[in-house]
Amino acid sequence: MTTERIHMVVVNDEEQYSLWEDGGPALPAGWSATGFRGSHEECLAHIEEVWTDMTPRSLRDRATDQPVGNGADG
């Protein structure tokens, strides 16, 4: 009899997603559980649905802090 392992979806401070075996070792610093649990396949499907921009948050934040023009347009 095979027991399917339950995983949980985790996210880090950069809003990057991953899987972690439920009941496994403690999450590393900077990672937290999203609350979604399921089979490996269910978790991957959930990540595909919610992780729509793979750009790390720090780079997205930096891009929004940049001025729109460079002042050369007159």
Domain range for 42: 7-54
Domain-embedded: residue 68: no
| pTM assigned to the model | 0.77
- Cβ pair 37, 46 in contact under 8 A: no
CATH of the domain at 46: 3.90.820.10
- Cα separation, 29 vs 61, whole angstroms: 21
Domain-embedded: residue 63: no
**Number of domains comprising the chain:** 1
Q: Which two tokens stand for residue 32?
A: 């937290």
- Cα separation, 19 vs 72, whole angstroms: 46
Domain-embedded: residue 61: no
* Bridge partners, 17 (sequence order): 11
What are the residues whose beta carbons fall under 8 Å from the beta carbon of 36, sequence distance 6 or more?
Answer: 8, 9, 43, 46
Domain-embedded: residue 29: yes
- pLDDT on residue 55: 87
Domain-embedded: residue 36: yes
- In this prediction, residue 74 has a pLDDT band, given cuts at 50, 70 and 90, of very low
